[in-house]
Amino acid sequence: MTQDRQQGMADQLRRSARRWIEPADEWRDKAQHWVDAGIVSSAQGNEIVALESGESVASSKESRSQPDKPTLSPIVELMAYVGVIVVGLCTILFLGPYWSGLGVAGHASVALMVTVAGFAGGFVVGQFGDAGARRLSGFLRLLGTAGAAMSTAVAVGPDAEGHRGLALLCVGAVVLALSAALWRNLDRSLQFLSTLVGVAITLGAVGIVAHLHATSTEVALLVWFFAIAVGLMGLQMLRPAPTALVVAELVSFVGAFALSFPNHLGGVLLGIVSTLCAIGIGFALDRPPIIVIGALGFFMFDFRVFAIYVRTTNAALAVFILGLVLVFVALWRARRATTVEGHDVNTMEVHADAEWHEPW
């Protein structure tokens, strides 16, 4: 009886470890492949995702597009991006000479129009059911968030002149609140990124308002620890997991690189450890972009070591060769992962379409 209990505890620990090794989006992709191949139903796929990733069935259902929704063609999506950019540039060129004479009311009106147009357009496009519509909807909502931040800056600007950092705090709070409300831990990369920007602006403004005089070492360490926390949560909780992992990787490199200026040895060691951990996670998850970014980070920190401590041609050549090896291995893994994924999908489709008869 005791042996069975110990075996059950060991299985539970292995299951928990596997969940932390694989991001939550991995199970979502696998379940979608099985549903597309006809092996399991949509409801069973939602239950699999909920069981393996620890999320609710309702959240899993919400993340999937409905087949009866209209779709947005790639040409229409591209034309929409071009149209938004052209309209924005023309508006800037037209209002540029008259901007200073518009006053607070004119600035607020322009910002509110951008806000309403962005959020309304994002809501309308979000009714379409494909990935292109979701990307365009996120882009428009990001424009609406920028318009809301501009409206807040215009509204509190005159009152915050005598309070250092107050306007920045209000803008950061608005960006954080709107981005988090739009993101809601769904597969919305731009809203996830704007939420992180809102957190950074808010924390910086709080430091200014509270007159916190943090040193460069403290700021660099805070950035690095924040990146590590985002990466760990991205393995299981944060969505979209690929975006969270890439952001965590890049921000951890920035924090370690910034630390290497006031503390040469500590920053370089922290950066090398970060790059090696990122490369290991990329290999474990079959994520070639993470491996490539880790290899480039390894390049950066190794050249930092070369610039500070080792100033020989042989060391520089060794660093260059090692980085090239890592990049080529990452590209090989990318090709291998694509080939294996295509083979798995074809195999599942064959199994789904085949008719099994009992031999007589």
Tokens of 321: 């060769």
Residue 349, pLDDT score: 44
Closest alpha carbon to 329 in 302, 272, 290? 290
Segment among 17-31, 51-65, 70-84 with least mean pLDDT:
51-65
Segment among 62-66, 189-193, 287-291 with least mean pLDDT:
62-66
Number of domains within the chain = 2
The top-scoring range by mean pLDDT among 49-53, 74-78, 89-93, 333-337 is 89-93
Contact 193, 146 (CB under 8 A): no
pLDDT higher at 73 or 137:
137
Assess whether pLDDT exceeds 70 at residue 53: no
The answer to whether residue 337 sits within a structural domain is: yes
The answer to whether residue 115 sits within a structural domain is: no
- d(CA 138, CA 146) in angstroms, rounded, equals 12
Segment among 81-95, 202-216, 271-285, 307-321 with least mean pLDDT:
307-321
Angle (nearest 5°) at CA 95 between 93 and 101: 145
Assess whether pLDDT exceeds 90 at residue 54: no
The answer to whether residue 17 sits within a structural domain is: no
DSSP state for residue 97 in the 8-state scheme: G
The answer to whether residue 270 sits within a structural domain is: yes
pLDDT higher at 270 or 316:
270
4-10 average pLDDT score: 66
Residue 288, pLDDT score: 79
Closest alpha carbon to 52 in 28, 85, 68? 28
Query: pLDDT > 90: what percent of the chain?
Result: 28
| Domain around 220 | 214-344
Which amino acid, one-letter code, is at 126? G
Contact 245, 290 (CB under 8 A): yes
Assess whether pLDDT exceeds 80 at residue 311: no
Task: Please provide the average confidence, as pLDDT, over all residues in the chain.
Answer: 78
270: Cβ contacts below 8 Å, ≥ 6 apart: 224, 255, 256, 259, 260
Assess whether pLDDT exceeds 70 at residue 89: yes
Q: How confident is the model over 9-52, as pLDDT tens digits?
A: 666 655 555 555 556 566 666 776 777 777 777 677 667 666 65
The top-scoring range by mean pLDDT among 32-41, 45-54, 222-231, 350-359 is 222-231
Residue 210, pLDDT score: 86
The answer to whether residue 48 sits within a structural domain is: yes
Q: How confident is the model over 142-197, as pLDDT tens digits?
A: 999 999 999 999 988 777 777 778 889 999 999 999 999 999 888 899 999 999 99
| Domain-ending residue, one of 10, 31, 64 | 64
The answer to whether residue 223 sits within a structural domain is: yes
DSSP state for residue 98 in the 8-state scheme: G
Assess whether pLDDT exceeds 70 at residue 221: yes
Tokens of 158: 């005159």
Confidence of residue 121 (pLDDT cuts 50, 70, 90): very high
Tokens of 14: 């292995």
Cβ neighbours around 73 below 10 Å, total: 11
Residue 186, pLDDT score: 85
- d(CA 137, CA 203) in angstroms, rounded, equals 28
Residue 10, pLDDT score: 61
